[in-house]
Amino acid sequence: MGIPRDIGTINSMYWDFLSRNRRELSKNPRIAIMYGTHDRMNIVRKVDLLRQAEQYRASVHHL
């Protein structure tokens, strides 16, 4: 049993949003905690998530 597609979409978009907005968001102490998780994430997993999010953003106009 894999991760449901919509959960994977939300997950990848969440980490992509954090990655793209790190400079602004890391100033917030509550959100900054998530950057610790982000920084410890396996690099292959992180690249896969960001690549998946990029594909979702590119295809949003085709929905």
Other residues' Cβ atoms within 10 Å of the Cβ of residue 33: 11
CATH superfamily to which 5-62 belongs: Deoxyribodipyrimidine photolyase-related (1.10.10.1710)
pLDDT at 46 (0 to 100)? 92
| Helical axes 5-20 vs 43-59, angle rounded to 10° | 100
pLDDT at 61 (0 to 100)? 79
CA dihedral 15→53→50→29, nearest 10 degrees, is: -20
Locate the domains of the chain by residue range: 5-62
Q: Is 1 helix (H, G, I), strand (E, B) or coil?
A: coil
Closest C-alpha to 9, from 61, 54, 46 = 54
pLDDT digits (tens, 9 = 90+) for 18-57: 999 999 999 999 999 999 999 999 999 999 999 999 999 9
